[in-house]
């Protein structure tokens, strides 16, 4: 029963996507999309309620999808507390985005395909969350990649949009290849690609196998979750419309990376070296991205860098053994980040620009957007009592309890990030809503503000729900420290801004600003090495191939005219003679080739 419901909840958005993409211009596209995602959300809540009622149980189903000649691929679901909870998050956030899009994309001619692709994206993420088979998870994993390609490239007539789309797909696909090989290692070692079988086989796997598997999986996770060194596709992905950003940054795609690590957590725990690697990458990403967010000029880019940074917080939690805090942060982040992106969309629609410099003074003109985004920014900065405070604090506490060397590194990184996050969140908040009141701007329509309000509720209150789990209850020491640091960050931003409200506080960073905003010139480096190297190699290959082909054509032409007469003689209908003649002809050709050289 539960497994059937779970399967239907994955298929509902898929059917909606199929209908939307094929008949989207004949049927009401928004209706189909909301119906598919909404139905899925209802089912997700039912499944989660059942799973919560019996938290130790696991529901699974399996049918063979195809034989392969070795381990078969199976279709089936794997439902437990983790997958059921994340499924609820995915469907609810996706539903809010679909409703919002009806208003936001109303005048867009490409809305039908847009809605269909968002449905497909949702279905792919739900496949990752609920599938029991790792190869089917990989299918969902990559389908998300192509959906993000299409949606980031929504405005494909703009060169920047199509370039960002290609970049996002290629960078994540590079990681995906590693991910696939990681699945091979785990699956072949376990003799099955099914998650329960793989997890059961983890204790019997050798250290080398586990290390190889988890490191390879980490490559894919780093790509999908936009962590250093595969981070630079995410800020560029801002070329997509705001609802797409909300979807990619909150409910799907980037969250998939953290989810998969949590899903296969026993394998990662058995490979401590991988967790250390994850810790180092997470600390680099969280601090680096926070600095970039501090310097960025574009509101959506601030939020994009904050996503990288907040995802790193989840990975930091996972790296120090805090699976529940990490997932807690995944859920609260989904709520407040979706809220922030949808709010940013409303602001951008109102002022007609993405740049912070063009905003300001919107507090009175857009009260609902202001209030809800204030909740979002507070949650991002980790201000009590918002959800972000509870979940981030739980991760910090987990790092404090860790006894390894990585624990200290992670703890330092987290505290520094808490300070920086409050600083950039305050800066963005002030530059967007404060300053001289703006004339001629009005609040967004209810179809936009209702999803904002709906998301503000969990962004504000989800932390109290988390008190149910001991791991998510705040601890005095760490919470006090993080709140003080956040307060310092926010105050510094405020003081600098207050001194000259017209100027961007980031100007004070001086020459460092360019360095931060370009994420320490990593993108330039990739452009100069990888992109140019591959292009040069490609040009060389074509040059060589043309030369070789050119020579072969002339040689073959001459040979053919000499042999043409001989070949004609063989067409006398006698198969025996035909065969003999062919053999002779071949010998002649061979001789001809030798002579012509």
Partner 1 sequence: MSVLTVLLVALPLAGCLAVLGVPERVAVWFGVVLTGATLVVAVVVAAVFDYHRSGTVQLSVDGSWIPSIGLRFHLGVDGISLPLVVLTALLCALSAVYLSRPAGAPERPRAFTALLLLTEVGMIGTFVSLDLLLFFVFFEVVLVPMYAIIAGWGGGPGRTAAARQFILYTLLGSGVLLVGLLVIYSQTSTLDMVALAQRAGTGIGHTVQVIAFLLVAGGLAVKVPMWPLHSWLPDAHTEAPTVGSVLLAGVLLKMGTYGMVRIAVPMLPEGARVLAPALGALGVVGIIYAALACLAQRNLKRLIAFSSVGHMGFVLLGIATLTPVGINAALFGNIAHGLITGLLFFLAGGVAQRYGGTDLDRLGGGMLATVPRLGSLLVVAAVASLGLPGLAGFWGEMLAMLSAFRPGGDLNRGLYLTFMVVAGLGAVLTAAYFLVMLRKVAQGTASPRWAGTVIADVTAREWVAWAPLVVLFVAAGLWPGLVLGVTDGAVRGLLGGG
Q: Give residue 435's Cα distance to chain centre.
A: 34
Cβ atoms 447, 100 nearer than 8 A: yes
Which of 8, 45, 58, 170 touches partner 1 by CB under 8 A? 170
CB of 573 to partner 1, least distance (A): 13
Crossing angle for the helix pair 387-401 and 446-466, to the nearest 10 degrees: 40
Give the 3-state secondary structure of 132-160.
Answer: CEHHHHHHHHHHHHHHHHHHHCCCCCCHH
Which of 42, 61, 81, 174 touches partner 1 by CB under 8 A? 174
Q: Does 64 bind partner 1 (CB under 8 A)?
A: yes
Q: Does 441 bind partner 1 (CB under 8 A)?
A: no
* CA atoms lying within 13 Å on the CB side of residue 427: 33
Q: Cα separation of 119 and 41, whole Å? A: 12
CB of 382 to partner 1, least distance (A): 37
Which of 50, 58, 139, 515 touches partner 1 by CB under 8 A? 139
Cβ atoms 89, 334 nearer than 8 A: yes
Which of 23, 538, 591, 596 touches partner 1 by CB under 8 A? 538
Which of 11, 15, 61, 173 touches partner 1 by CB under 8 A? 173
Q: Does 542 bind partner 1 (CB under 8 A)?
A: yes
CB of 589 to partner 1, least distance (A): 5
Q: Does 591 bind partner 1 (CB under 8 A)?
A: no
CB of 91 to partner 1, least distance (A): 20
Which of 55, 157, 403, 595 touches partner 1 by CB under 8 A? 157
Q: Which stretch binds partner 1 (CB under 8 A): 137-145, 200-208, 290-298, 395-403?
A: 137-145
Q: Does 566 bind partner 1 (CB under 8 A)?
A: no
Cβ proximity to partner 1: between 181 and 494 the closer is 181
Give SS3 for 66.
strand
Q: Does 529 bind partner 1 (CB under 8 A)?
A: no
Cβ proximity to partner 1: between 56 and 66 the closer is 66
Q: Cα separation of 312 and 399, whole Å? A: 13
Cross-strand partners of 194: 133
Give the closest residue to 349 by CA, choosing from 447, 247, 429: 447
Which of 495, 537, 569, 596 touches partner 1 by CB under 8 A? 537
Give the closest residue to 308 by CA, choosing from 331, 287, 336, 327: 287
User: Nearest-5° angle of CA 147, CA 153, CA 159?
Assistant: 155
Alpha helices by DSSP H, 298-352: 299-319, 323-351
What are the helix and strand counts (H, E) for the chain?
Answer: 24, 4
Q: Does 203 bind partner 1 (CB under 8 A)?
A: no
Total of residues contacting partner 1 (CB under 8 A): 66
Q: Does 586 bind partner 1 (CB under 8 A)?
A: yes
Give the closest residue to 90 by CA, choosing from 306, 300, 248: 248
Give SS3 for 77.
strand
Cβ proximity to partner 1: between 180 and 459 the closer is 180
Q: How many residues does the chain have?
A: 597
Burial of 451 (0-12, 13-18, 19+ CB in 10 A): buried
CB of 293 to partner 1, least distance (A): 28
Q: Cα separation of 62 and 109, whole Å? A: 41
Give the closest residue to 444 by CA, choosing from 380, 370, 375: 370
Which of 55, 56, 70, 442 touches partner 1 by CB under 8 A? 70
Q: Does 181 bind partner 1 (CB under 8 A)?
A: yes
Cβ proximity to partner 1: between 153 and 361 the closer is 153
Which of 27, 539, 566, 569 touches partner 1 by CB under 8 A? 539
Q: Does 587 bind partner 1 (CB under 8 A)?
A: yes
Radius of gyration for the chain, computed over Cα atoms and rounded to the nearest angstrom: 28
Which of 11, 15, 58, 188 touches partner 1 by CB under 8 A? 188
Q: Does 27 bind partner 1 (CB under 8 A)?
A: no
DSSP string, 387-433: HHHHHHHHHHHHHHH--SHHHHHHHHHHHHHHHHHHHHHHHHHHHHH
Cβ proximity to partner 1: between 42 and 563 the closer is 563
Which of 160, 467, 480, 583 touches partner 1 by CB under 8 A? 583
Q: Cα separation of 333 and 208, whole Å? A: 34
Cβ proximity to partner 1: between 142 and 504 the closer is 142
Cβ proximity to partner 1: between 499 and 586 the closer is 586
Residues forming the site for partner 1 (CB under 8 A) = 64-70, 73, 135, 138-143, 146, 149, 153, 156-157, 159, 162-163, 165-166, 169-170, 173-174, 177-178, 180-181, 184-185, 188, 534-535, 537-542, 545, 548-549, 552-553, 556-557, 559-560, 563, 575-576, 578-579, 582-583, 585-587, 589-590, 593
């Amino acid at each position: 029963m539960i497994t059937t419901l779970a399967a239907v909840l994955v298929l509902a958005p898929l059917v909606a996507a199929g209908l939307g993409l094929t008949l989207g211009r004949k049927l009401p596209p928004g209706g189909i999309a909301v119906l598919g995602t909404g139905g899925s959300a209802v089912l997700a809540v039912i499944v989660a309620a059942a799973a919560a009622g019996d938290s130790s149980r696991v529901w699974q189903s399996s049918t063979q999808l195809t034989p392969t000649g070795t381990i078969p691929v199976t279709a089936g679901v794997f439902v437990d507390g983790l997958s059921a909870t994340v499924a609820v998050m995915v469907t609810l956030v996706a539903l809010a985005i679909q409703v919002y899009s009806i208003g936001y994309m109303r005048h867009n001619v490409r809305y039908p395909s847009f809605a269909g692709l968002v449905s497909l994206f949702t279905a792919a993420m739900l496949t990752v969350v609920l599938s029991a088979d790792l190869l089917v998870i990989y299918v969902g994993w990559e389908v998300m990649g192509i959906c993000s390609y299409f949606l980031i490239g929504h405005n494909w007539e703009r060169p920047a949009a199509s370039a960002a789309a290609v970049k996002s797909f290629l960078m994540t696909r590079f990681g995906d290849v590693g991910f696939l090989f990681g699945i091979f290692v785990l699956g072949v070692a376990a003799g099955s690609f099914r998650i329960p079988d793989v997890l059961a086989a983890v204790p019997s796997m050798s250290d080398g196998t586990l290390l190889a598997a988890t490191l390879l999986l980490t490559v894919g996770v780093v790509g999908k979750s936009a962590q250093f060194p595969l981070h630079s596709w995410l800020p560029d992905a801002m070329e997509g419309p705001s609802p797409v950003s909300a979807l990619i940054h909150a409910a799907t795609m980037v969250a998939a990376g953290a989810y998969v690590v949590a899903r296969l957590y026993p394998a990662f725990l058995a490979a401590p070296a991988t967790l250390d690697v994850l810790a180092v990458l997470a600390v680099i990403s969280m601090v680096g991205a926070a600095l970039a967010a501090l310097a960025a000029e574009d509101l959506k880019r601030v939020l994009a860098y904050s996503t990288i940074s907040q995802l790193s917080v989840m990975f930091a939690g996972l790296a120090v053994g805090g699976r529940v805090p990490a997932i807690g942060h995944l859920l609260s982040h989904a709520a407040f980040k979706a809220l922030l992106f949808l709010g940013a969309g409303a602001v951008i629609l109102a002022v007609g620009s993405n740049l912070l410099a063009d905003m300001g003074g919107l507090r009175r003109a857009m009260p609902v957007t202001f209030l809800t985004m204030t909740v979002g920014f507070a949650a991002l900065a980790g201000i009590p009592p918002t959800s972000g405070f509870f979940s981030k604090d739980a991760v910090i506490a987990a790092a404090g309890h860790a006894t390894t060397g990585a624990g200290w590194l992670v703890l330092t990184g987290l505290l520094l990030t808490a300070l920086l996050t409050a600083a950039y969140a305050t800066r963005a908040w002030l530059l967007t809503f404060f300053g001289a009141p703006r004339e001629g701007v009005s609040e967004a329509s209810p179809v936009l503000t209702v999803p904002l309000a709906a998301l503000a509720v969990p962004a504000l209150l989800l932390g109290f729900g988390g008190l149910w789990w001991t791991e998510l209850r705040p601890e005095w020491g760490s919470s006090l420290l993080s709140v003080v640091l956040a307060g310092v960050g926010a105050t510094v931003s405020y003081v600098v801004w207050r001194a000259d409200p017209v100027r961007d506080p980031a100007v004070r960073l001086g020459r460092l600003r360019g360095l931060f905003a370009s994420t320490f010139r990593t993108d330039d480096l990739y452009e100069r090495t990888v992109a140019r190297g591959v292009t040069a190699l490609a040009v060389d290959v074509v040059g060589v191939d043309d030369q070789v082909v050119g020579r072969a054509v002339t040689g073959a032409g001459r040979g053919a005219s000499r042999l043409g007469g001989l070949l004609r003689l063989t067409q006398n209908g006698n198969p025996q003679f035909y065969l003999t003649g062919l053999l002779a002809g071949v010998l002649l050709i061979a001789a001809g080739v030798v002579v012509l050289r």
